[in-house]
Chains A and B, each alone.
Chain A
Amino acid sequence: MSRPPFPTLPEKSETTVRPGKGLTFWPITGERMSSDRVKSTGNDPLHLQADVLVLGGGPSGAWAALAAAEDGARVVLADKGYLGTSGATAPSNTGTWCVPPGENRGQAVERRWQRTGGLADQRWMLRCVDQAYENLVKLSEWGYLFPHEDDGRLYIANLRGPDYMRFMRRRVLKAGVTVLDHHPALELLSNGDAITGASGVDRQRNRDWSVEAKAVVLATGGCAFHERILGATGLTGDGYLMAAEAGAHLSGMEFTGKYTLAPYETSLNKGLPYRWATFYREDGSPLLDANGEQVSNGIGEREKDIAKALIDGPVFARLDHAEPALQDWLRRGQPNCFVPHDRAGIDPFKDLFRITLRAEGTVRGTGGIMLATVDCGTGVPGLYVAGDAASRENMTGAVSGGGAVNSSWAIASGWWSGKGASTYARKSARKAFRSISKPLGEAGLRPAGNARADLRTAQIIEAVRAEVIPLEKNYFRDGTTLHTSSERLESLWNDVRQHLHTEGVDRVRSREAASITASARWSLASALARSESRGMHRRADRPGSDPAFARRILVSGVDAVRIGEAQISREGIAS
């Protein structure tokens, strides 16, 4: 290892970001420092310096922080919520795409690639299973308790969310990372050439923060458009807006047509138990498909029949195909799926219960920030991306990465982005912190026109949801409807950009509203551009796949949305 060491950071004096009164400096020493120790005086802004700043405390952010810290970088991780409970993984129980090394790996990748609508990239897939496997083994070595199979082998292909993320928090703190909980980022900072940090607000102490960093990793998750699903509270597309403001491209934003079954009015968007369900209409009669057969197994091809029926009226389910042994495994292995039933006094194996399909935006969709380099760089100097904030088309193309692929992707891309960011930080060490940084945030922070007090974030989000959530608009798409929705969102965006303005902690809400609106706009523009059906993008007016569309749809621009495209090579990694 013949790398130059990280130079010692100058303390206090050379700081130029947002000079103002009462800056509080906390030079990062590399020793363990949790947010509990980063307490400061009253409401004075918090100001930190770091080599690498990670935004987001889900799995990809945690792995990014670990990778950068292992490299010797001084790392700050800022999360909107709490590292350990934030994100879509912590409340869930997720499989991983776990393929042990060996000759079968190439075949497993090839088989999976066949299901991606031709948009995935086998080299990214191979290196992802490779890195994810290595890190899953690390987890076991570090002491995470995996279950054993009957033959005594460790089963590392499943992670229980609350335990996994609690474990990751401890590991991240042990690595000396400074963790800032409840510190949502509002915007990136730039010196004109490169990203130089981010700033936001400590929402529990109502004070501003900024972190000067030589590189920033966006691990802010996907955009769930405020759907009430597990983890969605923080998943509002903030990273997409920040990246686009910095000039990054997004890719695959049309792939937001993934929905998952949940008991009606609950947050439990976990499809696995419905593998053993049959479905019924409100009058108790079995739900029949076009061939007159009863619809069962809601996680396969039958999902479309259920979506159609849900547009017509209420649909009910019963897990009546689960044998007693399976019932026991489901209850013990997926206990949160049964919490709503137990609390409602329902036995889902015997009783009918009403269901819904929950929209999952880009969380189980595949769109996100385009990867420009193999170390998860965005093409914007100093800006890296990991997990659901990144496009997962390389891994899973036009179909959902579900829990499993996305989970391995979070591990692998987190790791690569952390390494990429720390390498970049080392290279740029000499010129860091010498130039004036400017904040890049616009919509929701700095209105282009007059602030309008009547413009409410909740109403903005409801208006967006009316276009991108209903099954009849977004599960089943067509050009005319997409066009109408797109026009409505242009008008809404104009209001947001021109007039939305809040102060203090409320800026978190206005940035979320702006990010959700922007994400929906990019999604609709991309869906219109993909004039065919592919994977979860179902166009009634273009029912088949068109070989000419076996390419990525790129989108960029904040005020003016621009569409581009990129060819996929099955062999090469686009860089």
Chain B
Amino acid sequence: MIEIVSASRCIECDICVKVCPANVFDAVPDSAPIIARQDDCQTCYLCEIYCPVDALYVAHRAEGHFPITEAEVEERNLFGSYARALGWKRGKAGGTEHDPTHRIRVAAV
């Protein structure tokens, strides 16, 4: 579930508030959004890739809180790691033309 909104990275654009399909965040005037309904998070990681500054971290555990520090996420270079794997940059989509999934499907038969 969503664990971190990095206040040091966040530019307060509130895109995550808008795009989260589970309505997990609440916008706060002149501040980073807060995680208002963590337990509603469906662990889809989509907020991370829409974030233009890689300020969000979704932990892999989908059931229950998974405490992790911002320092650890920084150190392990996990901020924005899913976006990089897809080819999304600064919240902009990209990379579908390089998707090798068709090779996997051929191999799976």
Chain B positions within 8 Å of A275 at CB level: 108
Contact between chains at B104 and A86 (CB < 8 Å): no
Chain A positions within 8 Å of B22 at CB level: 81, 233-234
Q: Tell me the total A-B contact number using a CB cutoff of 8 A.
A: 147
Give the complex CA separation of A50 and B88 in angstroms: 36
B window 30-85: CB within 8 A of A? 40-46, 49-50, 59-64, 78, 81-82, 85
Contact between chains at B40 and A233 (CB < 8 Å): yes
In the complex where A81-B20, A146-B97 touch, is A162 in contact with B62 (Cβ < 8 A)? no
Contact between chains at B85 and A335 (CB < 8 Å): yes
Closest CB-CB distance, B57 to chain A, in whole Å? 9
A window 72-94: CB within 8 A of B? 80-82, 84-87, 90-91, 93
Complex interface bits, B11-27 against A, C-beta within 8 A gives 1, otherwise 0: 00000011111110000
Contact between chains at A272 and B99 (CB < 8 Å): no
Give the complex CA separation of A155 and B96 in angstroms: 11
Contact between chains at B104 and A82 (CB < 8 Å): no
Question: How many A residues have CB within 8 A of the partner chain?
Answer: 59
Partner of A228, one of B20, B43, B96, B97: B43
Give the complex CA separation of A234 and B22 in angstroms: 7
Chain B positions within 8 Å of A155 at CB level: 102
Q: Taking each of A91, A149, A167, which has the highest tally of chain B beta carbons within 10 Å of its own beta carbon?
A: A91
Chain B positions within 8 Å of A84 at CB level: 19
Partner of A147, one of B17, B86, B97: B97
Chain A positions within 8 Å of B49 at CB level: 162
Chain A positions within 8 Å of B105 at CB level: 95, 157-158
Chain B positions within 8 Å of A146 at CB level: 96-97
Closest CB-CB distance, A324 to chain B, in whole Å? 13
A330 within 8 A of B: yes
Chain A residue nearest to B86 (CB atoms) is: A335
Q: Which residues of A contact B (CB under 8 A)?
A: 80-82, 84-87, 90-91, 93, 95, 144-149, 155, 157-158, 160, 162-163, 166-167, 181-182, 203-204, 228-234, 263, 265-267, 272, 275, 326, 328-336, 338-344
14 further A-B contacts with Cβ under 8 Å, apart from A162-B93, A163-B93, A333-B104, are: A85-B44, A85-B50, A93-B101, A95-B105, A144-B96, A147-B98, A147-B100, A148-B97, A157-B105, A230-B44, A234-B21, A263-B60, A339-B82, A339-B85
Q: Give the 5 A-B residue pairs with the shortest CB-CB distance, closest first.
A: A81-B21, A340-B60, A335-B85, A91-B44, A333-B101
Q: List 22 A-B contacts (CB under 8 A).
A: A81-B20, A82-B18, A82-B20, A85-B44, A95-B101, A146-B97, A147-B96, A149-B102, A155-B102, A160-B86, A162-B46, A163-B86, A163-B95, A228-B63, A231-B42, A231-B44, A233-B21, A266-B62, A329-B107, A333-B104, A335-B82, A339-B45
